[in-house]
């Protein structure tokens, strides 16, 4: 129930008064989870790109140097 309230832009006034701290913590946690999800997705795409370079026997660009290729 609190997750549903935290997802809403404007929670009911009674809920805000009663659960303000918990709602703000859940909103912050959801925000960070979204950011980390986007980061993990971007890293996975870069690893796939590096793996594609390696499978075709091409030298990968310098910016891919620090990423491990996915198998």
Query: Given the structure tokens 């996915």, which residue do they identify?
Result: 70
Spatial contact of 26 and 2, defined as CB atoms under 8 Å apart: yes
Structure tokens at 2: 């609190």
What residue ranges do the domains of the chain occupy? 2-64
Predicted TM-score of the model (pTM) = 0.63
User: For residue range 12-70, what is the model confidence (pLDDT) as tens digits?
Assistant: 677 767 777 887 888 888 889 999 999 999 999 999 999 999 999 999 888 888 877 76
């Amino acid at each position: 129930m609190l997750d549903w309230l935290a997802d809403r832009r404007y929670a009911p006034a009674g809920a805000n008064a009663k659960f303000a701290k918990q709602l703000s913590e859940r909103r912050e946690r959801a925000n960070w989870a979204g950011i980390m999800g986007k980061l993990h997705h971007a890293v996975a795409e870069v690893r796939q790109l590096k793996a594609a370079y390696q499978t075709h026997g091409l030298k990968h660009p310098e910016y891919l140097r620090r990423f491990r290729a996915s198998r």
